[in-house]
Chain A
């Protein structure tokens, strides 16, 4: 399975996820064409193509073209996947491991998983179980894409700004 992997823009490293991805290539669950955007995590592997940051347009392309997107449970990365019609496999950053300021990514992953928006892995075992499951589904994944509508929050804020400010400018 050809994956695109990103750990977001956070300054804190997320080595754990990249090591899991590397291991998954060794176990042949992921293809050697897997592209990793490592951001601020320093990581080297001969199994993977690793770039620090792709230009944003190229990253969008990579997300759209990947058979699976693997990412941290950051809202930017997850939203990007959903907008591109991808159901990502997320591994939340944990505060206790120094991967983020606190454990809010764990809560976010749980809720998004319960809503059926993402697949979430909280440990190594689950990561590999979900990867196997995703390989089985791989051909079907691209059928679940849906168009992106304007989110409710955007309408709320526009209405608020429109009513209170724009009319008086």
Chain B
């Protein structure tokens, strides 16, 4: 799942991609529309694992994933150094695995794990 755009067209040219609605930042209407997509995708495909770096589009997938008993991995953005993003905060309670990219942040959150950076 991603957003249509010049970057995804190029980087995911060889992949199957399902388009989500955007923007998702603080946008309840698109959250609702993406929740409907998430429900359909998860029911039809029944994946073993959901992995996401956010942002807002990830929220329905993680909550529905939890509901359907699917394992989930969330990776917080490298830009979040001292605290989680809104998406991170919302997903924290339901993710099976929760990665952050700064050791200091991992120490402050019981469930968060530092596993290196994308750099």
Q: A-side interface residues toward B, CB under 8 Å?
A: 9, 11, 53-57, 59, 73-76, 79, 82, 101, 104-105, 107-108, 111, 117, 151-157, 160-161, 164-165, 168-169
Contact = CB atoms under 8 A, between A and B. Distances in A.
B10 A11 contact: no
Interface in B15-67: 22-23, 25-26, 48-49, 51
Interface of B: 5-7, 9-11, 22-23, 25-26, 48-49, 51, 71, 73, 75, 77-82, 85-86, 97, 99, 101, 115-119
Contacts of B101: 153
B6 A59 contact: yes
Given A152-B116, A153-B115, A55 B10 contact: yes
Given A55-B9, A79-B119, 10 more contacts: A9-B7, A57-B10, A59-B6, A75-B79, A104-B81, A151-B117, A152-B116, A157-B75, A157-B99, A161-B73
Contact of B78 (A11, A108, A164, A169): A108
A165 B49 CA distance: 8
8 contacts: A55-B9, A56-B10, A75-B77, A79-B78, A101-B26, A161-B49, A161-B51, A161-B73
A interface: dominant SS: helix
B116 A155 contact: yes
Nearest to A79: B118
Contact of B79 (A57, A104, A168): A104
Contacts of B73: 157, 160-161
Nearest to A60: B10
Nearest to B80: A104
B25 A55 contact: no
Contacts of A56: 6-7, 9-11
Contacts of A155: 116
A90 B75 CA distance: 24
A53 B5 contact: yes
A75 B78 CA distance: 7
A51 to B, nearest CB: 10
A73 B79 contact: yes
A160 B118 CA distance: 16
Contact of A11 (B11, B23, B75, B77): B23
A95 B48 CA distance: 37
